[in-house]
Amino acid sequence: MSSTDPAPQFDETAWAEFLSEELGSRVSVRFGRAKSSVLRVVRTGRGELVVHMSEFFGRAPDEVRVSVARWLSAGRRARRSARDLDRWIDEALTREERAPIDPAKLSTRGRTVDLAELRDELARTEFAADFAASPPPAITFGRAGRRPARRSLRLGSYDARAHLVRIHPILDQDFVPRWFVRYIVFHELLHAALPHERGRGGRRIFHGPRFRARERAFADYARALEWEREHIEHLLRRPRKTPIRRARTGAWRAVQGWLFPL
């Protein structure tokens, strides 16, 4: 949390004590900065619940804390609490100021692919109307995870708060076709171009009918899915070792999910 952010009114310890009492079991709480997964639960082998939540939950009002406890206890059965919680999260994310981007931390040019070039190309050909009034997102390679083994891989993500697309550096390899990386960038730009759709009870839908229809209309959609199915195991086994060059300070151009923090 930056020095300008208000201090949490309900810190990790207070959250853990509250949830432990409400659920009748041991709960640990960890704050983070994730915006794509703002509330996540992991159950340890010892039966302890570890709740990962975005740091803005430190400023959550009493009714939101109760909704979190009910959601953890009953899951989807707590429909009203889940609906109220989803609405509050949406409002909290909207209130968050867009995080400034340090151009020196952007890595757009890899060994085999130039992300800025792909983004600009797509902005002209697929998103001309969407980004006519405002620039498309900045784009960068993310950092590769440190885990030695993976069962899944997030190839890209869109951070609405930072208006930033991140692409997994594992894609910067000779055997990965440029058109496949282009599809991943298209998918993330589509998140930036389309507002979240709403489902029953006002819940956010990240890949709603409008999103799916437009994605399916993309020229490389079908063959990109097929290529991913055929090569995902290879990507999981083959970490990228060549470092990616950083963009020069001030050289990036501002032009949406799947990934990694800067």
Could you identify the residue written with the tokens 């998103």?
A: 127
Q: If you average pLDDT over residues 247-258, what whole number do you get? A: 30
115 Cα distance to chain centroid:
18
The answer to whether 71 touches 84, Cβ cutoff 8 Å, is no
pLDDT-derived band at 110 (thresholds 50, 70, 90) equals very high
Measured in degrees and rounded to the nearest 5, phi and psi for residue 134 equal -145, 150
Count of beta carbons in the 10 Å neighbourhood of residue 180 = 19
Q: What CA–CA distance (Å, rounded) separates 96 from 134?
A: 19
Angle of helix 178-193 relative to helix 115-125, nearest 10 degrees, comes to 60
Measured in degrees and rounded to the nearest 5, phi and psi for residue 146 equal -100, -5
Pairing verdict, β 204-205 and 138-141: unpaired
- Residue 167 token pair: 């692409």
Is 104 a residue whose pLDDT tops 60?
A: yes
Query: Residue type for 140, please?
Result: T
The region, left, alpha or beta by phi > 0 then psi within -120 to 50, assigned to residue 250 is: left
Whether the CA torsion 64, 8, 257, 237 is positive or negative: it is: negative
Percent of the chain at pLDDT > 90 equals 42
Is 5 a residue whose pLDDT tops 70?
A: no
- Residue 116 token pair: 């800025």
pLDDT given at position 228: 94
Higher pLDDT, 3 or 144: 144
As a residue count, the chain comes to: 262
pLDDT given at position 98: 59
The answer to whether 87 touches 79, Cβ cutoff 8 Å, is no
Is 249 a residue whose pLDDT tops 70?
A: no
209 Cα distance to chain centroid:
20
Find residue 31's DSSP bridge partners. Answer: 53
Per residue in 8-66, pLDDT tens? 578 999 999 999 999 999 999 999 877 667 888 888 877 788 999 988 899 898 899 99
| Residues in contact with 63: Cβ distance below 8 Å, sequence separation at least 6, in sequence order | 84
Using DSSP, state whether 42 is helix, strand or coil: strand
Query: Residue type for 21, please?
Result: E
User: What is the CB-side half-sphere exposure of residue 220 using CA atoms within 13 A?
Assistant: 16
- Give the DSSP per-residue string, 153-210: ---EEEETTTTEEEE-GGG-STTS-HHHHHHHHHHHHHHHHSPPEE-GGG-EETT-HH
